[in-house]
Amino acid sequence: MKGPSTFCSLLLLSLLLGPDPRAASILPPSTSCCTQLYRKPLSDKLLRKVIRVELQEADGDCHLQAFILHLARRSVCIHPQNRSLSRWFEHQERRLRTLPNLNLGRMG
């Protein structure tokens, strides 16, 4: 990984792919933490199944920094310096940049 700018990009992308923070939550967020991190290359098949990404900080209750990939039936804790995850984030960022600017608020 390339220093702080890449990390900031990854963090921004994880926030963009994450749930809407303004959405109402019936239950409080989970307090479970990643205790083991996956460090091996991630398969394309797994990455295609990602629904959202969450960043676990190494503070408070959790002692490891990790990216949590939420899939339909499970979550996977990934080491923040996993190269295949970094490449996937970069691909997602490029994909988001190429989307057409949908300005739905100004129809008329």
The per-residue pLDDT for 32 is: 84
The per-residue pLDDT for 14 is: 54
Q: What's domain 3-17+37-96's architecture?
A: Beta Barrel (2.40)
Rg (CA), the chain: 15
Global pTM reads 0.64
Q: What is the DSSP string of 15-61?
A: HHHS--TTS--SSPPP-----S-B-SPPPHHHHHT--EEEEEPSSTT
- Residuewise pLDDT in 10s, the chain (108 residues): 455 455 546 555 555 555 544 433 333 455 689 999 999 999 999 999 999 999 999 987 889 999 999 999 999 999 999 999 999 999 999 988 887 766 655 555
Listed by start position, the domains of the chain span: 3-17+37-96
